[in-house]
Amino acid sequence: MLWKQLCSNQRPCNVTATATSVTNLQFYHDNKSWIDALEQCQTDYTSLVEITNQTVNDEVKSLLQDETDLQRGVWIGLERSVFGKDREWMWISKSKDIYPKWNSSIADSNNHCAKMILTEQQEIKLLDANCHDRLPFICQE
């Protein structure tokens, strides 16, 4: 795949892929709360990114591979309700197809938003986080 990237601290990082691309991703360096990141994505695109398959997983990794200083994580569109008894994690679209699978120990936490980190082995790891934390984020068209 051929990738085209335009990045700066003031602008999002645009990634468009040729050939077999399924998604169009935007990386925002701005640190925002999860809800503010979601609102920004809804203003500019559709929503925070949903990593529901290997293709999106690979594109997110490609988007972030040259980024540094992301040890704290990046917001994604995974959440669970603060209300009611349904405390299952699901994507903004209400899909429960979570890829990659993550550590089930977070299911008992009090956090309701999810972030991802890219490990040194270039693997995506999903983690729960306080929704008020301020992190960069990825939007998906």
> Nearest-CA neighbor of 60 among 111, 21, 114, 8?
21
CA distance 34 to 135: 8
Residue 7 confidence (pLDDT): 44
pLDDT digit string (tens) for 105-125? 455 577 889 999 888 888 888
State the pLDDT confidence band at 70, using cuts at 50, 70 and 90.
Answer: confident
Q: Is 90 exceeded by the pLDDT of residue 137?
A: yes
**Residue that wins the pLDDT comparison between 135 and 111:** 135
